[in-house]
Amino acid sequence: MPYIFELKNLCEELGCGFLTEEPLSMHTTFRVGGCCRALIYINSTERLVKLLSFIKTNNVKYFVLGKGSNVIASDDGFDGVVLVFGGDFASIKSEENNELVCSAGVSLKELCLFALERELTGLEFAYGIPGTAGGALFMNAGAYGGEMSDVVLSAEYLDEDLNLCRIDKAGMKLSYRHSIFSENRNYIITGIRLKLEPGSGEEIKARMDELLHRRKDKQPLNYPSAGSTFKRPEGSYASLLIDQCGLKGMNVGDAEVSCKHSGFIINKGNATCSDILKLSEKVIEIVKSKTGYVLELEPEILK
């Protein structure tokens, strides 16, 4: 790759971690995927702009990754650069009027604990979702009756020309697992402003503990996965339909429909991306023919 050496030098200059031929299985919660040409840890917006200018000038393919918890990486890897937000790009500040401002790479766990420390309520639903704030806004992640759209006020992002833009919630087109960012893959979220409410620390902690307990009880957290494999179809639940069709335990290689939670496909050890996608296709086909519902994959495929 002619650009690799120049890119490596640029990363050294900027102080950004740089890895070549890095297995994506190490950076995604499904633990599958071949290598990317380069993986760079992003640690500030300024440096991100410099890297993206190089990447765009040289027509290099790139993909923005948070914690990789909603991504299935191809067995063939990715012939381009993966920009990882889930590391040092993670500051949180508390501001007036119960607002928090965080960078996109902060983990939801850290963000929830930060809010708890300040006795701010509203983010409890996100405790246990293993992603970054940026990845969560991109997907409008949600659980147990809450979602990012309930707490987000505005965001900063880089547009395709690398202008730093600000957008209010109303412009974000947030709906079920959808946002303006998932519509425009050239937009990169760099920061998020959230509005929470004053609450009781004890009650916030109790709710967070309760939700984490429910996750451990219901979800196969001891196996790699990307969480719910399918989006919730209008009028039903993916896990309910999969259950009704008797698909628990169905497998392709080491990819298996979890017996604990049929909405999850899990990696029992050596599953490949291809195993997961073949199994997903089978599930979609059977559910469609038996119930009429058309399931759709929730995670992004990185290829």
Ligand X SMILES: Cc1cc2nc3c(=O)[nH]c(=O)nc-3n(C[C@H](O)[C@H](O)[C@H](O)COP(=O)(O)OP(=O)(O)OC[C@H]3O[C@@H](n4cnc5c(N)ncnc54)[C@H](O)[C@@H]3O)c2cc1C
Provide the strand spans (E) within 27-128: 35-41, 62-65, 71-73, 78-84, 92-95, 99-103, 120-121
Task: Please tell me the distance from the alpha carbon of residue 261 to that of residue 263, in angstroms, as a whole number.
Answer: 5
Considering only residues 140 through 179, tell me which ones interact with ligand X, judged by CB under 6 A.
Answer: 141-143
66 near ligand X, judged by CB under 6 A: yes
CB atoms within 10 A of CB 282: 15
Q: Catalytic residue at 177?
A: yes
29 near ligand X, judged by CB under 6 A: yes
- Report the nearest approach of ligand X to the CB of residue 107 (Å): 8
- Report the nearest approach of ligand X to the CB of residue 228 (Å): 6
Out of 40, 52, 62, 70, the residue judged to bind ligand X by CB under 6 A: 70
CB atoms within 10 A of CB 84: 25
Task: Please tell me the distance from the alpha carbon of residue 147 to that of residue 137, in angstroms, as a whole number.
Answer: 9
- Report the nearest approach of ligand X to the CB of residue 198 (Å): 25
- Report the nearest approach of ligand X to the CB of residue 289 (Å): 28
Task: Please tell me the distance from the alpha carbon of residue 151 to that of residue 146, in angstroms, as a whole number.
Answer: 9
226 near ligand X, judged by CB under 6 A: yes
Residue reference for tokens 């425009």: 184
Out of 139, 151, 174, 250, the residue judged to bind ligand X by CB under 6 A: 139
What distance lies between CA 54 and its chain's CA centroid? 25
Of the ranges 14-22, 114-122, 130-138, 191-199, which one interacts with ligand X (CB under 6 A)?
A: 130-138
**Size, binding site for ligand X by CB under 6 A:** 33
Residue reference for tokens 């440096």: 47
Q: Whose CA is closest to 92, among 180, 170, 208, 196?
A: 196
Structure tokens at 93: 């500040």
266 near ligand X, judged by CB under 6 A: no
Q: Which is nearer to ligand X, 92 or 143 (CB)?
A: 143
Residues lying near ligand X in the complex (CB under 6 A) are found at: 29, 63-71, 85, 104, 129-132, 134-136, 138-139, 141-143, 181, 188-189, 219, 221, 225-227, 300
Residues marked as catalytic: 177, 228, 300
